[in-house]
Amino acid sequence: MLVHEILEYTAARLPDKTALIEGDQEMSFGHVLSQVTNLSTRLSEMGIDRGDRVALLLPNCIEFCVAYFAILRLGAIVVPLNNRLSPKEFVYIVNDAAPRAIILGYQFWETFRQFKNELKITPDLIYAGEAPKEGALFFAEIVEAPLASSAESIRFGSDEPACIMYTSGTTGLPKGAVMSHRNVFTNARNAGAHMGYRERDTTLIVVPLFHVTGLNTQLVAFFYTGGTTVIMRAYDTGGMIELLARHKVTTMITVPTVYKLMLVHPSVEKADLSALRDLSYGGAPMDTETINALRKKLGVDLFNAYGLTETSSLATCMPACDTDRKGASVGLPVSGIQLRVVDFSGNDLPCGSIGELWIKGPNVVRSYWNKPEATAANLADGWLRTGDFARIDDEGFVYIADRKKDMINRGGENVYSIEVESAILANPDVLETAVVPRSHSIFGEVVHAFVVPAPGRNPTQEEIIRTCRNLIADYKVPASVSFVKELPRNPGGKVIKARLRELVPPGDPPRS
């Protein structure tokens, strides 16, 4: 099934069912399809054709969803732009993708004006705001305008591109992962099956729609299932709790930090969150105390998941029934996925050994846009070289150990940062943490931890080290700790460990 056919299928089956909610605006599947048809027709009249790129510079909003399906309906390719980027980063990505048009929200009109003169192309503009802007077509007028005739939905092979989603570029310039319709559809089907989505479900999207989690594993998957999607335009903890209660949300995905903030927010005590059934998380480990607190307070099942942009989102998912038994794992491979753990030469390692995780399957992208060398290096023979160290146990459960580049070598012993971070997070006074190497005159490297205290808490270095000594081997325990207000992150939300390495104190840490 092609991605835009998901909407067509569900709109034919459930035309009056609420598909999208944002603020006070609600839209049925039938109404979404009507707006998608109008916009795709106008894009076609502008000359947008199969294979052309159209970029989206929008917040989380209904306009993003309509634009996404309208572009795909023409066989064109969606380029979601990370709206947190700097003008310099926008220039690189827009020049690389060379979109024929950009659909941008009012929040980013001035941002676009800052970098438009540095572009090698002159894209057409469609403006999504409350009133028209000179030099751009007006989104609201296009999607509601009556049409004498409409552009036909295009049929083509499912391996043709649907989306170019740029990776966050923690190791260099961003790479555009080219997702096919098959990739996106496979992920939507897997999300529904492995995360238990139901037609009567309501989900809340608090993660960005320009990322694979919000777009592929929530929006597209819920359109496939026929559930209702509530969109949060800008995250804040209190607002999220209010939306969960007001719309009787049943399932949601976000990062562990958001759940920890939710548990300590005063409004969670009086909010009616009884509709919640499942909470999913990924991107970082979640400590047992937080898992147990969520279960006790909300009565929910917890799903852990792992994936990358290059896997179109999900690669593994933890069955809720195994969360206690396999709490440190990111679960089992989703349907159709093959996994390998290999050494530095690409040789398969025995069960339980730590090596680089390779992934193959119908949700794995085949190429990077305009990057043949990166494609050959990272995606040869259909196997994605993830750059993540992992092990797989005798039951097939996957455990992520570290990013390849973030491993710490302490006197010849490999220390994997995720294991140390998980131990630190067991301390209830910790909100977030990241560990990096610290130079040492004897061991070469030792572990240094950066810790963000939980709201209202003031842990000490000694308390953090004591927590770790009870949970992990002595050589893995942080030799020193820095307390910070927040961790530096790139526009994609990933912790920038390179910046943290620059903040590590010089010299050997004091001996304890």
Statement: residue 370 has pLDDT above 90: yes
Q: List pLDDT tens digits, range 438-478.
A: 999 888 899 999 999 999 999 999 999 999 998 888 889 99
* 178-201: burial string, b at 16+ Cβ within 10 Å, e else: bbbbbbbbbbbbbbbebbbbeeeb
Q: What is the pLDDT of residue 249?
A: 98
Statement: residue 148 has pLDDT above 80: no
Q: Is residue 111 part of a domain?
A: yes
- 286 vs 70 pLDDT, higher one: 70
Q: Is residue 270 part of a domain?
A: no
What mean pLDDT do residues 336-347 have?
94
Q: Is residue 476 part of a domain?
A: yes
Residues 6+ apart with CB under 8 A from 110: none
Q: What is the pLDDT of residue 172?
A: 63
Confidence at 146, pLDDT banded by 50, 70, 90: confident
Q: What is the pLDDT of residue 441?
A: 87
Q: What is the pLDDT of residue 406?
A: 82
Residue bearing tokens 């310039």: 173
CATH number at residue 480: 3.30.300.30
CA 367/CA 380 separation, integer angstroms: 9
Q: What is the pLDDT of residue 86?
A: 80
Q: Is residue 125 part of a domain?
A: yes
Q: Are 482 and 503 in contact (CB under 8 A)?
A: yes
Q: What is the pLDDT of residue 476?
A: 92
Q: What is the pLDDT of residue 492?
A: 64
Q: Is residue 133 part of a domain?
A: yes
CA 480/CA 320 separation, integer angstroms: 36
Statement: residue 512 has pLDDT above 80: no
Q: List pLDDT tens digits, range 114-129.
A: 999 999 999 999 999 9
What mean pLDDT do residues 266-289 have?
89
CA 101/CA 254 separation, integer angstroms: 31
Confidence at 491, pLDDT banded by 50, 70, 90: low
Q: Are 418 and 425 in contact (CB under 8 A)?
A: no
What are 307's strand-pairing partners?
Answer: 314
* 457-471: burial string, b at 16+ Cβ within 10 Å, e else: eebebeebbebbeee
Q: What is the pLDDT of residue 15?
A: 98
pLDDT over 70 for what percent of the chain? 98
CATH number at residue 112: 3.40.50.980
Q: Is residue 474 part of a domain?
A: yes
- 415 vs 54 pLDDT, higher one: 54
Count of CA atoms in the C-beta half-sphere (13 A) of 348:
7
Last residue of a domain, one of 164, 180, 196: 180
Q: What is the pLDDT of residue 149?
A: 75
SS3 401: strand
Q: Are 274 and 244 in contact (CB under 8 A)?
A: no
Confidence at 489, pLDDT banded by 50, 70, 90: confident
Last residue of a domain, one of 160, 180, 200: 180
Q: List pLDDT tens digits, range 195-238.
A: 999 999 999 999 999 999 999 999 999 999 999 999 999 899 99
**Residue 448 belongs to what domain range?**
411-503
How many separate domains does the chain show? 2
Task: Please state the pTM of the whole predicted model.
Answer: 0.87
CA 13/CA 224 separation, integer angstroms: 11
Give which of 268, 271, 249 is closest to 205, Cα–Cα.
249
Q: What is the pLDDT of residue 242?
A: 97
Statement: residue 285 has pLDDT above 80: no
Q: Is residue 240 part of a domain?
A: no
Q: List pLDDT tens digits, range 387-408.
A: 999 999 999 999 998 877 788 9
Mean of per-residue pLDDT scores for the chain? 92
Q: Is residue 219 part of a domain?
A: no
Burial (CB count <10 Å: 0-12, 13-18, 19+), residue 25: exposed
- 510 vs 23 pLDDT, higher one: 23
Last residue of a domain, one of 137, 158, 180: 180
